Chains A and B, each alone.
Chain A
Amino acid sequence: MNAPHTQTEGYIGRRMARTEDTRLLTGKGVYVDDVGLPGMLQVAFHRSPIARGRIKTIDLSAAREIPGVYAVLIASDLARYKVDMLSFFLALPTVPVPVLAVDRVTYVGDPIAMVVAQDRYIAEDAAGLIVIEYEEQDPVVTLADAKHGSLVHPRTDSNVAAATGSDEVDEDLEALLAHAPHLVSIDLTHQRIAQSPMEPRGVVAAPQGSGELTVYLSCQGPQLAARWFAQAFGMPATSIRVISKDVGGSFGLKGQPWREEVAVVLAAQLLKRPLKWIEDRLENLTSANQAREQEIRLRVAFDNDGTLLASHADYGINNGAYPQGADSNIAVMMFLWAAHKLPVFGFHARGWYTNTVGLAAYRGPWALESLAREVLLDRAARKLGIDAIELRRRSLITRADQPCTTPMGLQLEDISPAECLDELLRHVDVAAFRVEQAEARKQGRYLGLGVATYIEPTAGSTGIAVLISESAHIRIEPTGKVSAVVSTHSQGHGTQTTMAQVIAERLGVLFEDVTVHEDDSSRGGYGSGAYGSRQAVAGGGACIRAADLLVDKIKLMAAHLLNAKPEEIFLRDSVIHVFGEKEQTVSLRDLADIAYGEPDRLPEGMDAGLEVQYRYRPPPITMTSAAHACIVEVDGDTGFVKIRRWVTSEDCGVMINPAVVEGQIAGGLAQAIGCVLMEEISYDPRGNPTAVTYKDYLLPSISDVPDFEYHHGASAPSKAEGGFRGVGEGGCIIGPPTLVNAIADALSPFGDIPLQLPLTPHKLLEVIEGRSMARPAPTQPKASTPADAPSEKPMSVAEAVVHEPSSALTPVPVVETAGIDGLWKFILSTPMGPQAFTGKLATSGNVVSGSFYFNMDEASFTGTINGNNLKWDLKVTKPMSITLKYDVQIQGDKLVGKVKMGIFGTAKLSGERV
């Protein structure tokens, strides 16, 4: 599998019109709401109007009396089904997630009851007649509330949903920061974002036969959804067929099924009827999982010449009540300084539970790293009196510096942000801009130039079970046409086109002869679909390998039949050519006829048919790099930002279809513009969402987004098959710092801009006019926490500071070491979610030895015993080389402790005797 086997040129790299567009432009797409089945009923949810409280009574009688209502269901009706609501990593959540609310509600929009009716109008009528009495409690809404308020979930130690990094002060690092020639620090907050696909979520669930299900789902990949359902329900994956034809955008929101979709699937099984639920926009903006809402304090020490000396990040992210995997976002820390020469870095990252909608993915979930770093570098440049571009050049890792390994253990081979920056500056005349800027300022006009660089990990294939490999099954039908089933999935990505381009070029067939299917979990092998900017790299690689294997077979077969040598055969435009002594051609159809119909004529030992399946695992990470610049004008009278120019310079490797690549970059940048200037999911102090329509949640329109300029002069092929690199998320990562830096540059005569997104006109006008323009504070003082909340323990003021669980440090009675020996079940809270495994402990004197058992794998260790305290080290090599330091207290048949995971900080361990 090396050089192309064919002489057909030009599909890879060609700006082809998309196959999808013909149906989508003529109204013939099939989105989930376009699916109708005989006997299908419609679902509407009744949702909590309060952010936090106990459910006292539920009265469904009025709802049930409405003609046309088929059923009204609450949690107890679905209780017969055991469902594990899994995280994206297919791990059990730390705090169990109910499908419908049980006894208590945890955010405004929490689904409590579902009405099943003959149409949605009636379902909504009935949902409005459900009467629920609550005992309302004070909600925990913001990150500040989470740190000091009541516990969001009973039976938790604190509101910390997940933590990584060190909560202990690193004296050496602090000394470096304190004594450096320059210390630059920023506090930055990123608002909460609604992913806002134009098609909201939706599902049609249809029970089939005995225990089988067909689920039409608006999702990011039918294979991943089917795997999730199978594991969550404990059903065979073959019993669940997920069909997802056209999807109206996702951007992370539809990465996995969640509460409403699961409730509909369960209710369909219970009622034995096909059910449809289509989320409306109000539900989407108030109840669909959201993203971002982060804060970071980033500190960086510089030498006088701009050399980076050390850095520390303190990070928090609002996880809401039921995140799709409790998260402290390790990727923010992994990539904050991954492209820079920085010798020392430490961090403390925490995700917090609150009484808000749970956290989901959103395009570039770790994007805050680029925003914080690039904004800080610009501030540092102003402080140190060094040009901002020059400051970047001094610290960026160049191609010549690689291969190298970052302090976080990331191996770099071919990142190129420095080279992208050089390329960018060939297209942006900074000196000329500075002249224009100075002239404009004299006229009271404020122009600004912002520059940022970034690297993006794409198509990861290690460490995350659901994101390893992708599958392509290509067959040449007896008709001679080519069908491919690929584990990619498009929510606008155009993979039916790009994968067909790859296959057509590698097979040597006409593009029009290739049909790609990716919409049905029952058709092909597992793959995650659209996740982590992986489709071009992992899906494209799978198509190349499969096509090449098929070409090998075609050559052997044709050579045998035509009495030629395999190397004399090639395919072009779906025709098999023999060159050499007697040139001849055979149609692919004629060859396929023999392959399927007359296998006796094939070479000895060759199987009948013309089909191949290949599962491709790309390199562990394929890096994409970029540098962007934008020029803005901020209106001094209104604070409005007008983007005048935006130039991109990207190393995205070999492009399959430049129009699709540009579409991904542009789409991400438009979302970045929304993040920086206008989008904001907000809550009042009682946890009521205050942006519930598109009149309040502002999305960029055509007049907000400029024409983008694309340059790929710094591109180099990746090491993945085909040389592709991912581009799905980049615009959303590099866009925000580029724009924030431009605005900061424009307003630099007035001082620093606030680093609280979005940078609305009123915030910028405050900088320009040097005075507060805040509206009077809302007159809704929060009552103190009621003392009579029965099943939860509100913290007293004295206890209000949240501590890490300290059980491992609490003195406990000495136990006999004989009580240690035996089999144990452990749960380790890793950055990927809780990981469960069993292990054996044995003692001899003050030495403990043991083994952990994973799936057909085993790791052994020895350590020391001191009373009931055990300590041991365990070296692991996956997903990276690291020594795990265990510190465990035995308490009878239970154990608790912590595990130091090097730079990744400390993880909680619990265990019980088997």
Chain B
Amino acid sequence: MSTHPIQLTINGRRHDATVEGRLVLSDFLRGDAGYTGVHVGCEHGVCGACTVIVDGLAVRSCLMLAVQADGAAITTVEGLAADDGTLHPVQQTMRDEHGLQCGFCTPGIVMTLAALTGGPNKANSETLLNALSGHICRCTGYQGIRRAALKLAGDAA
């Protein structure tokens, strides 16, 4: 069993660890690093619950090994809100629009929306909805999630 030293930044804090080669990034983030907001729903890249932002891109952390994140800057859902507790605009919009019920798929959806609305080139609603088609929510029927996406894209009815 090979082990590898890795250094990465998680939610702005540097994290050093030695991990097995086979350790999946989602398990590393949840177990070793303690960011349990990373949810594991399918472990085969379909449901999207484990999505985190790796170097600015939304990534399914169940499809990436921890060693591959060596040197990366990672943001999990725990890293979005301000220190004073003020919610990130994506979080606030999801709350306002009742975009969640059980909350299990929610961190992944929030991270995808945050990745696509956070940069200088703001995504339009079509881009956001296409990206959300890679997230499964079993509770809401996507009603509030769609409203949130349209609102974030500036297309709210």
Contacts and interface: CB of A to CB of B under 8 A. Distances in A.
A, B assembled together: yes
A659 interface: yes
Given A197-B138, A669-B141, A708-B143, A702 B104 contact: no
Nearest to A491: B102
A663 B98 contact: yes
26 contacts: A24-B103, A25-B100, A25-B106, A27-B76, A27-B107, A31-B104, A33-B36, A121-B23, A197-B138, A198-B139, A199-B39, A246-B102, A248-B41, A248-B103, A281-B43, A492-B101, A492-B103, A662-B143, A666-B143, A670-B141, A671-B138, A694-B47, A701-B132, A702-B129, A702-B146, A705-B141
A17 B107 CA distance: 18
A29 B98 CA distance: 17
A563 interface: no
B104 A281 contact: no
B55 interface: no
Nearest to B95: A21
Interface stretch (B2-10, B77-85, B116-124): B77-85
A142 to B, nearest CB: 27
Contacts of B98: 17-18, 659-660, 662-663
A295 B77 CA distance: 45
B135 A17 contact: no
Contact of A26 (B20, B43, B81): B81
Contacts of B37: 26-29
Interface of B is mostly: loop
B40 interface: yes
Given A27-B36, A281-B44, A663-B98, A702 B138 contact: no
Interface of B: 20, 22-23, 30, 35-44, 46-47, 49, 76-78, 80-81, 87, 91, 94-96, 98, 100-107, 110, 129, 132-146
Contacts of A29: 37, 103
A22 interface: yes
Given A25-B87, A27-B35, A27-B77, A199 B102 contact: yes
Interface residues of A, number: 54
Given A196-B138, A667-B140, A705-B141, A25 B49 contact: no
Contacts of B143: 662-663, 666, 705, 707-708
Given A26-B80, A705-B141, A694 B136 contact: yes
A667 B133 contact: no
Contacts of A699: 136, 138
Nearest to B24: A121
B100 to A, nearest CB: 6
Contacts, number: 170
A247 B42 contact: no
A17 B23 CA distance: 38
Nearest to A119: B31
Contact of B42 (A28, A281, A702): A281
A302 B77 CA distance: 59
A663 B87 contact: no
Contacts of B35: 27
Nearest to B108: A198
A18 B46 CA distance: 28
B95 A25 contact: yes
Interface in A515-558: none
A280 B47 CA distance: 13
Contact of A199 (B41, B100, B142, B146): B41
The 10 A-B pairs at the shortest CB distance, nearest first, are namely A27-B37, A248-B104, A24-B103, A492-B102, A492-B101, A670-B141, A666-B141, A694-B46, A27-B77, A34-B36
Contacts of B146: 702, 707
A693 interface: yes
A685 interface: no
A493 interface: yes
A248 B144 contact: no
B104 A198 contact: yes
A705 B38 CA distance: 26
Contacts of B43: 280-281
A246 B78 contact: no
Contacts of B103: 20-21, 24-25, 29, 246, 248, 492
Given A27-B35, A666-B143, A249 B104 contact: yes
A676 to B, nearest CB: 14
Given A21-B103, A25-B77, A198-B138, A248 B39 contact: yes
Nearest to B90: A25
B21 to A, nearest CB: 11
A248 B102 contact: yes
Given A25-B91, A248-B103, A701-B132, 17 more contacts: A18-B98, A21-B95, A24-B100, A25-B94, A31-B39, A121-B23, A198-B104, A198-B105, A198-B139, A493-B101, A662-B143, A663-B144, A667-B140, A693-B42, A694-B46, A702-B135, A708-B141
Contacts of A280: 43
Contacts of A34: 30, 36
B108 to A, nearest CB: 9
A326 B131 CA distance: 43
